[in-house]
């Protein structure tokens, strides 16, 4: 046989039993990969079967003549309701006919339609919300997310909501948690035996049964009002003559194709990004997302690199895609292969074999997709086989990529994920199924490890448990040391039939809240995927006014059924309107009762109302009560005075009246909102800066590194106000009288008698008390068993890390937080005192922004805030003593603290009014306050003016 020339193990010439044995052991992919490593990119794996792993072979087998060679009867196993779908058509012509009907529904232009993307974004929001809504163990999956997204694309408005509804989740579970591999393999290899002994086989090899999914799809396909962008709408077109069963079969096939693939791929990525070796990539991703709030998911190069690398290392369909060599035979990779031979490539090997294109192939390195963009780019893409290639490649590719990117955007814009230490690599081995692979353990249980303090929750307006996520994700195959390499022996030791005996794996992903981006009137948080333009008729992805898409949760039953708007506060803030206006508006429009001022941030409308419907109603609210009537800009202030409601446009200056006949107008007249101090302070600063109208050069104190400048220089609405603020403060600083600060020893001070100081010092460990000057903390009743030692340990550890990593900027927030948590002091105010002295240096102004999310999470009370300011005094004093004059920077530092919500007006004013010996000597304390005076004065004036405004 000409196949004898192809390298491979000797037994492959005579028998396919070894290959089959590996298939039954869920280890086919790894087995073939090992053969490739041993014999090269062309390997004979059975008497009539050859595996290839080169770009040339991919091109020949899958792309020649458009869609490559015909599929083998292996695909009969995937027939649905006895019908052939696009996926299961074997020859080119049948395939082309079906593909012509439905391909345009998967074209990128259709995927990026607002209605299509809205559905995905809503599900990404549901995923995030579901994770953060509970403080008890919950079971949910990225599979649910993928399921809801794909059914949205197939059936909207009849999509599932398995992230919100347990009934829908059951359907997803039925499709995902399928154990029919052995049964189906027997059906393929021994069809007669399968027919004769089918019932007996069922006893130990379950068939695939999906009654719930069948029922759901059949029922849904009977609907005739599917949205124009959906597959169902297309298949029901009169020109195509498809009967109901054909339509349902095609839909069910696509539904199944869209769940495990996207779900597992995402799960892998989140897991990998959470590993110590990859946390830096997670950080980079977060940096990109935070620097580009609201950016469209397909304009983020690092996100793209992450997704590509994830799919390269763990292709959700890593296995062989078998095809028949056409009659007459073909030459593949220089070997003549006779007609009728089964040939295939598997993504797992294609994407790893050529080390000139993918050096260090088993390591997750997103950078390889960015490095030298032109060099090797074409080769990398030629060898990217996760979605296969040619005319029969994955039709759902654009949908899958949109889903993956939008979910990662939604999660990593706000959170950091870390794995639980109990996770064992062998629990994540790859388990091959018929064509896709899944994690051997098949499920991960994620749970809320602990609830956060109420003050943190209050700050973030989310339910208890916010900083931690509770989620169930399917597991993935990787090991900590070498994430993508897993040992075949471990894998083969775990037969799929024993799956029920595999202990369920418990994984905890700790999600740490990231920066909530602050913008004067528009974007408050950066949940990119769940953001929507304030004007939804505005399709420009760069439209700067965004808000979170409305998220709802239906609770209760019967008469008690109600809709909770999970994120109403955030939406209202983005519109700069009180939440009570929005909820009341919904109430009026729906004729339903609402609650107006929920202490727990649970905004409720009686009855069940879909988020989509509320989003539409919100458009009405925005048009009537937010948008400027002249220029349609949403940046308007509401003025309610003398029985009139006016919208004052900040963009064009127009003042227009709101129609008083509207029901909500009556409500507004009776409920005039109080302005917040921060709003007023910012407005006032902007106004005064405008009056000054100079754009002073000395504005920022020459601090080019200021984090206030957006990295890409965009005018994103944050800088303008802050620059105005800085300019204003600095201008005032110049004209301030040089009067002395009033110094009093006050309630900030502690007993500084020699005796007391000595007593305190006894508690401190030797070395660190000098370094960090941790004395003066004697009133700290919450010191733990180790006394100051733990704080000392934290400080020393940060300093060591700083040395090891060549600078404090390289010490990661997450590592610091984890260390503090490990020492049990992440919530202590002393920790903040230690941090401020160790994570900042003379470049503090450039460092604050980066550290703000972590600090914000840790500064949870007045006490913390005092420690934070005290630590800053020490830092300023100490650095100045060492020769870097830091007093000049005090205003800027405070302003940045204020901007990032790390300090409050009241406490800062109080702090500034009285020097104290608590943290530094009196002279230093006076000097710091003197330097802070312009900022304090500005805060005071802002407050006074606000009070005037209120009157
Ligand atoms: C990360 C996610 C995904 C991956 C890695 C993936 C991968 C693949 C691969 C490798 C194939 C070729 C299979 C073969 O030739 O035997 C394929 C085909 C297919 N995929 Fe996907 N897929 C993904 C998501 C989706 C989604 C979301 C859908 C949506 C509906 C989908 C629908 C299909 C269909 C219908 C086919 C058959 C195409 C044809 O025969 O022309 N896939 N997919």
pLDDT score of 454: 27
**What pLDDT is stored for residue 683 in this prediction?**
53
- Under DSSP, the state recorded for 441 is T
Minimal CA–CA distance to 819: which of 840, 847, 838, 793? 793
Q: What is the pLDDT of residue 318?
A: 93
Residue 398 counted as domain residue:
no
Tens of pLDDT, residues 144-197? 999 999 999 999 999 999 988 888 988 998 888 776 777 777 777 877 777 766
Q: Would you state the pLDDT for residue 412? A: 85
Residue 399 Cβ contacting ligand 1 at under 6 Å:
yes
Mean local confidence (pLDDT), 579-592: 93
- Let me know if residue 604 belongs to a domain: yes
Is the Cβ atom of 321 under 6 angstroms away from ligand 1? yes
Rounded to whole angstroms, how far apart are CA atoms 571 and 551? 10
Using a pLDDT cut of 70, give the percent of the chain over it: 72
Q: Total structural domains in the chain?
A: 3
Provide the greatest CA pair distance for the chain: 101
Asked whether residue 45 is domain-assigned, the answer is yes
| Distance in Å, CA 270 to ligand 1 centroid | 21
User: Greater confidence, 771 or 899?
Assistant: 899
CB of 395 within 6 A of ligand 1: the answer is: yes
- Distance (angstroms) between ligand 1 centre and the Cα of 216 equals 21
Interval 460-489 mean pLDDT? 23
Ligand 1 in contact with 396 (CB < 6 A)?
A: yes
Distance from Cα 128 to the centre of ligand 1, integer Å? 26
The answer to whether the CB of 386 is under 6 A from ligand 1 is: yes
Q: Which long-range contacts (CB under 8 A, 24 or more apart) does 240-246 make?
A: 240/101, 242/101, 244/218, 245/81, 245/83, 246/83
Q: pLDDT tens for residues 31-65?
A: 999 999 999 999 999 999 999 999 999 999 999 98
pLDDT given at position 519: 25
What's the distance, CA 751 to chain centroid? Answer: 49
User: How far apart are the C-alpha atoms of 340 and 326, rounded to whole Å?
Assistant: 6
CA-closest residue to ligand 1 atom 5: 316
Is the CB–ligand 1 distance for residue 319 below 6 Å? Answer: no
Structural domain ending residue among the three candidates 343, 360, 382: 382
* Residue among 49, 55, 53 at smallest CA distance from 349: 53
Has residue 281 been placed in a domain? no
DSSP 8-class letter at 632:
-
Q: Whose CA is nearest to atom 37 of ligand 1?
A: 87
* 251 confidence band (pLDDT: 50, 70, 90): very high
Say what the alpha-carbon torsion angle 393, 399, 404, 405 is, to the nearest 10 degrees: 110
Q: Does the annotation list 491 as a binding residue?
A: no
Atom of ligand 1 nearest to the CA of 253: 35
Q: pLDDT for 363-399, tens place per residue?
A: 999 999 997 666 788 899 999 999 999 999 999 999 9
Least confident stretch, 97-106, 739-748, 785-794: 739-748
Whether 394 lines ligand 1, by a CB cut-off of 6 Å, is: yes
Among residues 365, 382, 399, which one ends one of the domains? 382
Residue 516 within any structural domain of the chain: no
The count of residues in the chain is 951
pLDDT tens-place string over residues 786-802: 345 688 888 888 988 88
CA 693 to chain centre: 41
User: CATH number of the domain that 535 lies in?
Assistant: 3.30.30.170
Residue to substitute in 76, 84, 119, 396 for testing ligand 1 pocket (most ligand atoms within 8 angstroms of CB): 396
Mutate to test the pocket of ligand 1, among 394, 398, 405 (most ligand atoms within 8 A of CB): 394
Atom 7 in ligand 1: residue holding the nearest Cα: 387
Per-residue pLDDT tens over the stretch 193-214: 777 666 666 666 666 778 889 9
- For residue 587, what pLDDT is reported? 93
Complex-level ipTM: 0.98
Q: Whose CA is nearest to atom 17 of ligand 1?
A: 394
Domain membership flag for residue 721: no
Q: 258: Cβ below 6 Å to ligand 1?
A: yes
What is the distance in A from the centroid of ligand 1 to the CA of 505? 28
How many angstroms separate the alpha carbon of residue 635 from the centre of ligand 1?
Answer: 44
- Return the higher-pLDDT residue of 506 and 637: 637
Residue owning the nearest CA to atom 35 of ligand 1: 254
Cis ω for the linkage preceding 159 (within 30 of 0): no
87 lines ligand 1 (CB under 6 A): yes
pLDDT (tens digit per residue) in 392-417: 999 999 999 999 999 999 888 877 77
Q: Which of 257, 264, 321, 407 to mutate to test the pocket of ligand 1 (most atoms within 8 A of CB)?
A: 257
- What is the average pLDDT across 442-465? 33
Residue 202's pLDDT is 63
Question: Does ligand 1 come within 6 angstroms of the Cβ of 261?
Answer: yes
Is 251 among the domain residues? no
What pLDDT does 261 receive? 93
What is the pLDDT confidence band of residue 718, given thresholds at 50, 70 and 90? very low
> Domain with 840 in it: what CATH number?
1.25.40.180
Å from CA of 386 to ligand 1 middle: 9
**Could you report the per-residue pLDDT of 586-600, keeping only the tens digit for each?**
999 999 999 887 777
Torsion of CA 403, 408, 411, 412, to 10 degrees: -160
Give the tens place of pLDDT for each residue, 753-793.
Answer: 455 444 434 433 333 333 333 333 433 433 333 345 688 88
Domain boundary among the residues 609, 632, 655 is at: 632
Q: Distance from the CA of 362 to the center of ligand 1, in angstroms?
A: 24
387 lines ligand 1 (CB under 6 A): yes
Question: In the 3-class helix/strand/coil scheme, how is 76-88 assigned residue by residue?
Answer: HHHCECCECCCCC
* Contact of 356 with 381, CB cutoff 8 Å: no
Helix/strand/coil for 933: helix
Q: What is the pLDDT of residue 583?
A: 95
- Is residue 724 assigned to a domain? no
Structure-token pair, residue 6: 């192809």
Residue 834 lies in domain: 827-950
| pLDDT exceeds cutoff 50 at 475 | no
Q: What's the pLDDT band for 680 if we cut at 50, 70, 90?
A: low
- In which band, very low, low, confident or very high, does the pLDDT at 732 lie, cut at 50, 70 and 90? very low
| pLDDT in the model for residue 446 | 44
């Amino acid at each position: 046989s000409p196949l004898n020339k192809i390298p491979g193990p000797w037994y492959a010439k005579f028998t396919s039993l070894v290959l089959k044995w590996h298939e039954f052991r869920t280890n086919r992919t790894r087995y073939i990969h090992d053969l490739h490593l041993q014999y090269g990119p062309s390997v004979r794996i059975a008497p009539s079967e050859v595996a290839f792993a080169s770009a040339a072979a991919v091109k020949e087998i899958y792309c020649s003549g458009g869609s490559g060679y015909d599929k083998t009867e292996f695909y009969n196993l995937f027939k649905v309701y006895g019908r052939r779908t696009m996926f299961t058509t074997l020859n080119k012509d049948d395939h082309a006919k079906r593909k012509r009907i439905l391909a345009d529904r998967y074209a990128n232009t259709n995927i990026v339609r607002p209605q299509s993307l809205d559905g995905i974004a809503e599900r990404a929001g549901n995923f995030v919300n579901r994770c953060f809504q509970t403080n008890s163990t919950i079971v949910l999956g990225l599979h649910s997310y993928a399921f809801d997204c794909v059914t949205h694309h197939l059936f909207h408005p009849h999509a599932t909501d398995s992230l919100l509804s347990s009934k829908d989740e059951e359907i997803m579970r039925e499709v995902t948690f399928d154990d029919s591999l052995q049964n189906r393999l027997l059906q393929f290899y021994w069809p007669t035996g399968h027919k004769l002994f089918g019932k007996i086989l069922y006893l130990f090899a379950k068939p695939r049964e999906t009654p719930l999914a069948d029922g759901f799809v059949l029922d849904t396909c009977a609907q005739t009002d599917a949205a124009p962008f959906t597959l169902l709408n297309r298949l029901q077109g009169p020109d195509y003559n498809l009967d109901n069963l054909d339509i349902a079969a095609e839909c069910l096939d696509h539904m199944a194709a869209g769940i495990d693939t996207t779900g597992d791929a995402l799960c892998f990525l989140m897991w990998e990004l959470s590993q110590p070796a990859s946390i830096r990539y997670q950080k980079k991703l977060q940096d990109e997302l935070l620097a580009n709030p609201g950016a469209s998911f397909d304009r983020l190069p690092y996100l793209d690199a992450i997704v590509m690398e994830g799919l390269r290392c763990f292709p959700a369909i890593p296995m062989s895609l078998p095809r028949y060599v056409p009659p007459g035979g073909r030459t593949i990779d220089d070997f003549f292969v006779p007609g009728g031979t089964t040939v295939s490539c598997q993504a797992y090997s294609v994407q790893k074999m050529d080390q000139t294109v993918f050096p260090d192939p088993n390591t997750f390195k997103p950078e390889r997709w960015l490095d030298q963009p032109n060099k090797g780019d074409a080769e990398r893409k030629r060898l990217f086989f996760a979605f296969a290639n040619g005319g029969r490649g994955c039709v759902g590719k654009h949908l899958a990529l949109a889903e993956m990117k939008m979910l990662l955007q939604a999660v990593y814009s706000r959170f950091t994920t870390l794995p639980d230490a109990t996770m064992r690599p062998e629990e994540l081995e790859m388990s091959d199924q018929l064509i896709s692979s899944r994690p051997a353990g098949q499920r991960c249980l994620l749970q809320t490890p602990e609830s956060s303090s109420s003050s943190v929750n209050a700050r973030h307006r989310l339910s208890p448990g916010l900083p931690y996520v509770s989620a169930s994700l399917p597991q993935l195959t990787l090991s900590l040391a070498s994430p993508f390499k897993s040992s075949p022996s471990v894998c083969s030791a775990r037969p799929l039939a024993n799956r029920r005996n595999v202990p369920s794996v418990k994984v905890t992903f700790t999600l740490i809240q990231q920066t909530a981006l602050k913008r004067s009137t528009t974007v408050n948080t950066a949940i990119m995927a769940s953001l929507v333009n304030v004007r939804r008729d505005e399709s420009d992805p760069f439209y700067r006014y965004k808000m979170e898409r409305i998220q709802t949760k239906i609770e209760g039953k019967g008469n008690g059924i109600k809709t909770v708007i999970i994120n109403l506060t955030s939406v209202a803030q983005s519109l700069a309107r009180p939440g009570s206006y929005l909820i009341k508006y919904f109430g009026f429009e729906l004729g339903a009762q609402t609650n107006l001022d929920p202490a727990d941030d649970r905004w409720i409308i009686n009855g069940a109302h879909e988020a989509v419907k509320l989003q539409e109603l919100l458009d009405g609210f925005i048009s009537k009560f937010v948008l400027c009537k002249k220029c349609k800009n949403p940046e308007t202030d509401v003025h309610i005075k003398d029985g009139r409601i006016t919208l004052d446009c900040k963009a064009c200056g127009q003042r227009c009246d709101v129609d008083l006949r509207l029901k909500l107008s009556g409500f507004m007249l009776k409920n005039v909102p109080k302005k917040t101090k921060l709003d007023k302070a910012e407005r006032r600063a902007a106004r005064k800066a405008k009056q000054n109208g100079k754009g002073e050069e000395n504005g920022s104190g020459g601090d080019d590194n200021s984090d206030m400048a957006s990295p890409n220089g965009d005018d994103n609405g944050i800088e303008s106000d802050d620059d105005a603020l800085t300019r204003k403060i600095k201008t005032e600083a110049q004209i301030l009288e040089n009067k002395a600060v009033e110094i009093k020893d006050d309630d900030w001070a502690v007993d500084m008698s020699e005796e007391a100081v000595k007593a305190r010092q006894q508690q401190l460990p030797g070395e660190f008390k000098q370094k960090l000057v941790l004395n003066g903390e004697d009133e700290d009743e919450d010191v733990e068993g180790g006394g100051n030692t733990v704080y000392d340990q934290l400080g020393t550890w940060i300093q060591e890390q700083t040395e090891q990593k060549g600078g404090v900027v390289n010490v990661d927030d997450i590592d610091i937080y984890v260390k503090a948590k490990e020492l049990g002091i992440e919530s202590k105010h002393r920790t903040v005192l230690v941090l401020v002295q160790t994570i900042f240096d003379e470049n503090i102004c450039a460092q604050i922004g980066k550290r703000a999310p972590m600090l914000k999470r840790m500064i949870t009370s007045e006490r913390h805030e005092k420690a934070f300011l005290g630590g800053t005094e020490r830092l300023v004093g100490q650095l100045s003593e060492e020769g870097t004059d830091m007093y000049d920077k005090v205003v800027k530092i405070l302003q940045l603290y204020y901007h990032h919500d790390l300090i409050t007006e009241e406490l800062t004013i109080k702090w500034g009014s009285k020097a104290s010996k608590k943290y530094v000597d009196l002279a230093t304390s006076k000097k710091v306050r003197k330097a802070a005076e312009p900022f304090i004065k500005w805060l005071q004036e802002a407050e006074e003016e606000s009070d005037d405004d209120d009157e």
